[in-house]
Amino acid sequence: MTAELRFIDAIHAGLQASLAADDAVVVIGEDVTYGGPFGATKGLADEFGRHRVRDTPISEATVMGMVTGAALTGLRPVVEVMFVDFITLAMDQLVNHAAKLHFMSGGQLRVPLTVRVQGGVRGRFGAHHSQSLESWFTHTPGLKVVAPAFPGDAKPLLAAAIANDNPVVYLEHRGLYWDKGPLHDDPVDGAVVRRPGTDVTVVSYSKMVHSALAAADRLADSGVEAEVIDLRWLAPLDTATVLESVAKTGRAVVAHEAVARGGLGAELAATIQREVFTELVAPVERVGAAFAPVAAAAALEDAFLPGVDEIERAAGSLMAFGPPPP
């Protein structure tokens, strides 16, 4: 029986393993010696020393630039940005410097930087502590983006991010931190099919994968077999796994917690219709948040956030097209 760990502890274990394996790895961020608000870095300063686990002032712009400069000169920093909403302050350094320096230097420079950042809706935190901003990162050439959905993937994906010679944004959904699951050492390249199905493909990532799986359970009760794909990596995007599935099912729903407009779902919908147009029996459906900031009040947050109902409805609506399930 494999030991089960909470998601947040899997991240901790990943940091611990990387710090132990490579002296170039350093962990930097606000309150990381204390453990941060959720405990991901707890105890690491005592174990590895305060020269490798460092607290910073609340200076996101300079901290992102500093870790980029450290990555350019031989370190392999893991920086924690406490909430993805605060990464706005660090976007110049992340987008203009970390992401572009390999290219702008004609390949002379490398930026092996991991940006750990948590976000998403959970806890009625309001519009400055609840966003899903992954499309900003996936729209930026030079950045890699990963968004684990399960504790078992959290550790190997973090190790892969840290070992990568590019800047990688590692997106954590706060709502997953307390989920438990078994750890594994399987490969974590690309997307993975979480549930096989024949009638409709639901493509998702991060916390929304769990809503997709719950929706698939409900759909199965009404005789519709949904195939659920967990992308894991948002950049580079494993379109092959997605297209293979959609070519089989002929129907696709792309679901994410981020605002639907201009989101990753739009990119995937465009790719699907272009690449497997003749296999489609229905238009590609998108499920995403409303085009609005996240409100704090419970009723408003709930109204903003898509979930199991919306995915079930979207997938169900596609069944009206094409031949019915046998």
Partner 1 sequence: MSELDLAGRVELLERMWLIRAFEEKVSELFARGQVVGLIHLGIGSEGSAVGVCSALRSDDYVFGNHRSHAHAIAKGADVDRLMAEIAGKASGYCKGKGGSMHIAAPEVGFVTATGVVGGNVALALGAALTSVTTQDNRVSVAFFGDGAGQSGSLHESLNLAALWKLPVVFVCENNGYAEFSPLSAHTVVERLTDYASVYSIPTVTVDGGDVMEVRRAAVSAVARARAGEGPMFIEVLTHRLRGHYEGDPAAYRELSEREEWTVRDPVARFRAELEGAGVAADTIAATEAAARSRIASAAESAVAAPGPDPEEATTDVYAV
* Residue 114 near partner 1 by CB under 8 A: no
Report the nearest approach of partner 1 to the CB of residue 135 (Å): 18
* Residue 144 near partner 1 by CB under 8 A: yes
Cα dihedral across residues 163, 268, 176, 136: positive or negative? positive
* Residue 75 near partner 1 by CB under 8 A: yes
Q: 257 and 306 in contact (C-beta within 8 Å)?
A: yes
CB nearer partner 1, residue 144 or residue 173: 144
Q: Please pick, from the candidates 33, 56, 88, 198, the single residue that binds partner 1 as defined by CB under 8 A.
A: 56
User: Is residue 275 among the annotated active site residues?
Assistant: no
Q: 156 and 5 in contact (C-beta within 8 Å)?
A: no
CA–CA gap between residue 326 and residue 314 (Å, rounded): 20
Report the nearest approach of partner 1 to the CB of residue 44 (Å): 15
CA–CA gap between residue 120 and residue 137 (Å, rounded): 15
Q: Please pick, from the candidates 6, 110, 184, 195, the single residue that binds partner 1 as defined by CB under 8 A.
A: 110
Q: 187 and 152 in contact (C-beta within 8 Å)?
A: no
Residue in 129, 173, 210, 256 annotated catalytic? 129
CB nearer partner 1, residue 47 or residue 92: 92
* Residue 138 near partner 1 by CB under 8 A: no
CB nearer partner 1, residue 142 or residue 181: 142
Strand partners, 226: 200
* Residue 14 near partner 1 by CB under 8 A: no
* Residue 70 near partner 1 by CB under 8 A: yes
* Residue 321 near partner 1 by CB under 8 A: no
Q: 183 and 1 in contact (C-beta within 8 Å)?
A: no
Residue 55, burial from CB neighbour count under 10 angstroms (0-12, 13-18, 19+)? middle
